[in-house]
Amino acid sequence: MLVPTLSDVLSAATRIRPFLPATPVRAYPALSRLVGTELWVKHDNLLPTGAFKVRGGVNLLQQLDGKTRERGVIAASTGNHGLSVAYAARLFGAKAIICVPEGANPVKVESIRDLGAEIIMSGRDFDDARVHCEGLASQHGYRYIHSGDEPELIAGVATHTLELLEEQPDIDVIVVPIGGGSGAAGSCLAAKAIKPSIVVIGVQSAQASAAHDAWRGDESHDGTGTSTTVAEGLATRTAFALPQRIMRELLDDFVLVQDQELMRANRLMIEKTRTLVEPAGAAALAAALSPVLKPQLRSRRVALICSGANISPAQLAEVMVA
């Protein structure tokens, strides 16, 4: 797997622009007051699938040949990666199969089906679904689209940071949620190539810390650990090789937040931005408000990547009383 370059990100931006509009970058005085510094939000929750990953899906599927599209693509997902693949497959005429865990976010599952993809439910969490997915790919010859170990996906999602810095070139710090790490890896690639002095900080739930622990040097995350976070967009028991390779070289820091902090930040994001946000999409704000990170952000121009909007009604009810 080759590490994407800024040239790959620029090519991806050209490739996806006919299908995906640039998302807004907005300042909210209430959030700036709460964090104690000048704050901007990159609203990838406003993309057509409600999540950032569609950037990568469109970039990758557009480059597949006709025979591969006809044979079919398959992916494992808790929702947003599956939405990305399903959306892009519909655009480019590919058959798509998405493996999701039993009990997956019903809003995401319904949306994947509405885009024409076949849903297969398997296992208790993402990693169970991933193992089943990989078996089906091998058995039937489908093009397996991994949710992190795909250079074209990472180049595609990196366009959110490209857009951010085109609009706000004076940003000092970017805070980005991490599940498998494609979004953070993309942010690192684009930001460090454009502005080497910029600081990129990742955030993950303490209840699903595989990527964080691997980045800190713990190599034991082979899928046998636990993932109990309410933020399914951050939930994995494994660390992905390509994002880890990029983040170990370029990510400046990586913090953990508790699920309760995620839920409170989720409510604040909905209240203050007047947009729909899912728990994973609020992770950057949760980190910025945390006692570990908040003091480090004072007097700096900070951008938060709001990665997704696909919250279920049950999650929304819980969030609003957090």
* 8 A C-beta contact, residue 199 and residue 279: no
Q: What does the pLDDT look like over 253-298, one tens digit per residue?
A: 999 999 999 999 999 999 999 999 999 999 999 999 999 999 999 9
**Distance of alpha carbon 219 from the chain centroid:** 22
State how far the Cα of 129 lies from the Cα of 123, in Å rounded to an integer. 6
* 8 A C-beta contact, residue 1 and residue 151: yes
State how far the Cα of 84 lies from the Cα of 93, in Å rounded to an integer. 14
Phi-psi region of 157 (alpha: psi -120 to 50; beta: other; left: phi over 0): alpha
Q: What mean pLDDT do residues 198-207 have?
A: 97
Tell me, what's the pLDDT at 227?
80
Report CA-CA distances (Å) from 205 to 100, 211, 230: 20, 10, 9
* 8 A C-beta contact, residue 233 and residue 280: yes
Q: What does the pLDDT look like over 150-168, one tens digit per residue?
A: 999 999 999 999 999 999 9
> What percentage of the chain's residues is helix, strand, coil (to nearest 5)?
50, 15, 35
Q: What mean pLDDT do residues 200-215 have?
A: 96
**pLDDT beyond 60 at 222:** no
Q: What mean pLDDT do residues 85-107 have?
A: 96
Structural domains in the chain, CATH included, are: 6-52+152-319 (3.40.50.1100), 54-149 (3.40.50.1100)
Mean per-residue pLDDT of the chain: 95
Q: What mean pLDDT do residues 173-179 have?
A: 97
Tell me, what's the pLDDT at 275?
98
Close Cβ partners of 218 (under 8 Å, ≥ 6 residues apart): none
Of 121-135, 161-175, 208-222, 276-290, the least confident: 208-222
Torsion of CA 96, 14, 239, 191, to 10 degrees: -160
User: Measuring CA to CA, which residue among 32, 47, 10, 11 is closest to residue 301?
Assistant: 32
Q: What is the pTM of this model?
A: 0.95
User: Measuring CA to CA, which residue among 105, 137, 98 is closest to residue 121?
Assistant: 98
Q: What does the pLDDT look like over 15-43, one tens digit per residue?
A: 999 999 999 999 999 999 999 999 999 99
